[in-house]
A and B are shown apart, each in its own frame.
Chain A
Amino acid sequence: MTSADEHPYFADVTLDAGRTMCGDLVLMIVQQMRTLDSGRILHVVGYDRGALEDIPAWCRMTHNLLVHQVISENSSEPSHFYIQKR
């Protein structure tokens, strides 16, 4: 796994989603994104393997930009998503 720190993106806010899944996870992201100005970056950390599909899908639907992601090898390690608000 690549280190989550090895990228050029600065996270304005980090959301520790823990093991939140599915619709609840997306709602958490929405609520956090509402606090950010356009262009800011939200860093989401979580263990949900469904997020590997759900977060990119949510970004495409909402036209927010998934600028970087670090996918863990399994659910015992968190994955990282960097989302730039449109």
Chain B
Amino acid sequence: MGKLLVNLVSGKDNIDKAAVAFVVANAGLAGGQETAIFLSVEGVLLAKQGFADDLQSEGFKPMKDLIATFVAGGGMIWVCPPCANVRKVTEDTLIAGAVFAGGAKVVEFLSLGAGSISY
């Protein structure tokens, strides 16, 4: 199985980027790729329960639906620990399917042949 890493640094500050990142990630799953989204910087807030509930980029499904589709399809959401720490995103507030994972996890995935795309 191929691997795809989608790197997302934006959240509410740029909902367009966030939406496209999850659309592409969902396309990765649909294409049979083992797919992970690495959320860092402002993007980590998307992994906080309730944060994405009222976010929607024009022309796209609501963020909560894009995220739910990704998780239900077996996508992995990796949340940058120091970025989350600064933004008060704690383990008990993470959405289902999201875990804290940092540089080593990302580098390992890339070293195993994952293609990557960044937003």
Contact = CB atoms under 8 A, between A and B. Distances in A.
Interface string B96-119: 000111111101100100000000
In this complex, the member of B78, B80, B108 whose beta carbon has the largest number of chain A beta carbons within 10 angstroms is: B108
Contacts, number: 63
A53 B49 CA distance: 21
B85 interface: yes
A80 to B, nearest CB: 17
B82 interface: yes
A14 interface: no
Given A49-B81, A49-B91, A53-B78, A23 B108 contact: no
Mostly, the A contact residues are helix
A40 to B, nearest CB: 21
Nearest to A73: B91
Interface centre among A55, A57, A58, A60 (most CB of B within 10 A): A57
A50 B81 CA distance: 6
Given A22-B81, A75-B91, A52 B100 contact: yes
B104 A26 contact: yes
Nearest to B106: A57
B108 A60 contact: yes
A4 interface: no
Interface in A17-59: 21-23, 25-26, 48-55, 57-58
B92 interface: yes
A75 B81 CA distance: 11
17 contacts: A22-B80, A25-B102, A26-B102, A50-B81, A50-B102, A52-B99, A53-B99, A53-B100, A53-B101, A53-B104, A54-B101, A54-B102, A54-B105, A55-B104, A61-B108, A61-B111, A74-B92
